[in-house]
């Protein structure tokens, strides 16, 4: 189940070369994204209107894309500006384009009704582009549906077991029940999940940031927004410190987002940033490697789960209390998908 009237991350800005392009599939549609000489971003359907060949098999010529099959050339607005052997390209010779936006080093594409593309719906991934937050950008590819990964991110009780030796470090995380409420910021739709875990050993990766000699009080507070973006403040302070005393605390901000590639595969863009006046290359690399190790643990588990689901599609799942956030999110996705379908049907009926 996919939503279309929303923003999906298609790339980190550094992935788009100055004189080339990036090809990615989003919601089953092949796309090509590039930046013109003036800095404008363009997203075209990666499909020539002539014989359906991928434009990504062609080449960049200035601000245009030349199809590598029969040489049709398209500009950044999708119009064909040249057909070899023809004086004037036919008006029908064009490829579909998509609204595109950029915020804090994430490049977004709008997959639905272009007239409804709304910049207010972009998530606030501020730490991706803030002078005092430092990180190494990441990308992973999953051979699983995106909603299974959403489920994983909406239930942090798994940190105690999947990530026992990496991000977790304590079974107390699974015992701490989260609070769940609706996100109320304008333009945003989703859930806010808060989990506090008092008086536990610091997880191993904290030592890459700060040496802590006592147990810590940990917190995980995040918004999980449609269509699948996690924005999280997390960290831990020594148990003897007051809640408002962050002098000795580890403070982190994470931005993670899921973009369905196909019904069974997913793009995963992520970072985990730490706050400091200046970056420490060793700390930045250490946090990134810890994140990669943990996310590989996630991917291994979710991929194994998907194999089981595919082998017995009708097998029931037993609902438990830790499923509350993911159940609420799936209901939200379903309600939004129904609303989109109803609006589309109404529009077609009115025509």
What pLDDT, on the 0 to 100 scale, is given for residue 126? 98
Q: Answer whether 101's CB lies under 8 Å from 6's CB.
A: no
CA distance 295 to 53: 35
Is the pTM here over 0.85, yes or no? yes
Q: What is the DSSP letter of 79?
A: B
What pLDDT, on the 0 to 100 scale, is given for residue 168? 63
Taking all residues of the chain, what is their mean pLDDT, rounded to a whole number? 93
Other residues' Cβ atoms within 10 Å of the Cβ of residue 201: 15
Parse the chain into domains and list their residue ranges: 7-119, 124-337
Length of the chain: 351
Please identify, in words, the CATH class of the domain defined by 7-119.
mainly beta
Mean pLDDT of the 207-232 span: 92
CA distance 149 to 160: 17
Other residues' Cβ atoms within 10 Å of the Cβ of residue 234: 18
- Dihedral, CA of residue 16, residue 152, residue 30 and residue 61, to nearest 10: 0
Q: In the chain, count of helices (H) and strands (E)?
A: 4, 19
Crossing angle of the two packed helices 146-153 and 324-350, in degrees rounded to 10: 140
pLDDT tens string 251-301:
999 999 999 999 999 999 999 999 888 889 999 999 999 899 999 999 999
Measuring CA to CA, which residue among 235, 213, 173, 209 is closest to residue 290? 209
pLDDT tens string 290-307:
899 999 999 999 999 999
pLDDT tens string 191-215:
999 999 999 988 887 888 888 889 9
- For a pLDDT cut of 90, what percent of the chain falls above it? 80
Helix H segments across the chain? 146-153, 172-175, 281-311, 324-350
Provide CATH code, domain 124-337.
3.90.380.10
- Helix (H, G, I), strand (E, B), or coil: what is residue 59? strand
Other residues' Cβ atoms within 10 Å of the Cβ of residue 142: 22
Measuring CA to CA, which residue among 335, 3, 16, 341 is closest to residue 182? 335
CA distance 86 to 142: 44
pLDDT tens string 13-52:
999 999 999 999 999 999 999 999 999 999 999 999 999 9
Q: What is the DSSP string of 73-130?
A: EE-TTSBEEE-TT-SS--TT-B--EE-EEEETTEEEEE-S-GGG--GGGS---GGGG-
For residue 351, is pLDDT > 60?
Answer: no
CA distance 152 to 155: 6
pLDDT tens string 113-142:
999 999 999 999 999 999 999 999 999 999
Q: Answer whether 258's CB lies under 8 Å from 268's CB.
A: yes
């Amino acid at each position: 189940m996919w939503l279309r009237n929303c923003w999906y991350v298609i790339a980190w800005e550094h992935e788009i070369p100055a004189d080339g392009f990036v090809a990615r599939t989003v919601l089953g549609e092949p796309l090509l994204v590039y930046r013109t000489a003036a800095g404008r971003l363009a997203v075209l359907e990666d499909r020539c209107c002539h014989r359906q060949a991928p434009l990504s098999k062609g080449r960049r010529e200035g601000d245009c894309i030349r199809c590598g099959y029969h040489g049709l050339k398209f500009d950044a607005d999708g119009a064909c500006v040249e057909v070899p052997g023809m004086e004037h390209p036919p008006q029908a010779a064009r490829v579909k384009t998509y609204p595109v936006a950029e915020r804090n080093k994430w490049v977004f594409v709008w997959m639905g009704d272009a007239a409804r593309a709304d910049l207010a719906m972009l998530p606030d991934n501020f730490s991706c582009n803030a002078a005092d937050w430092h990180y190494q950008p990441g990308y992973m590819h999953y051979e699983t549906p995106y909603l299974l990964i959403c489920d994983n991110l909406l239930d942090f009780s798994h940190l105690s077991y999947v990530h026992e030796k990496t991000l977790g470090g304590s079974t107390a995380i699974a015992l701490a029940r989260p609070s769940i409420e609706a996100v109320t910021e304008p333009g945003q739709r989703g859930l806010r999940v808060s989990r506090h875990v008092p008086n536990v050993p610091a997880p191993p990766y904290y030592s890459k940031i700060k040496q802590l000699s006592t147990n810590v009080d940990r917190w995980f507070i995040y918004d999980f927004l449609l269509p699948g973006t996690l924005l999280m403040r997390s960290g831990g302070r020594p148990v003897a410190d007051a809640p408002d005393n962050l002098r000795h605390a580890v403070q982190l901000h994470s931005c993670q987002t899921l973009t369905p590639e196909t019904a069974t595969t997913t793009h995963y863009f992520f970072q985990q940033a730490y706050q400091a006046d200046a970056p420490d290359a060793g700390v930045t690399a250490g946090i990134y490697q810890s994140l990669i190790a943990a996310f590989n643990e996630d991917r291994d588990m979710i991929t194994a789960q998907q194999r089981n689901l595919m082998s017995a599609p009708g097998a029931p799942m037993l609902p438990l209390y830790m499923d509350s956030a993911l159940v609420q999110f799936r209901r939200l996705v379903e309600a939004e998908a129904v609303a989109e379908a109803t609006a589309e049907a109404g529009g077609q009926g009115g025509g």
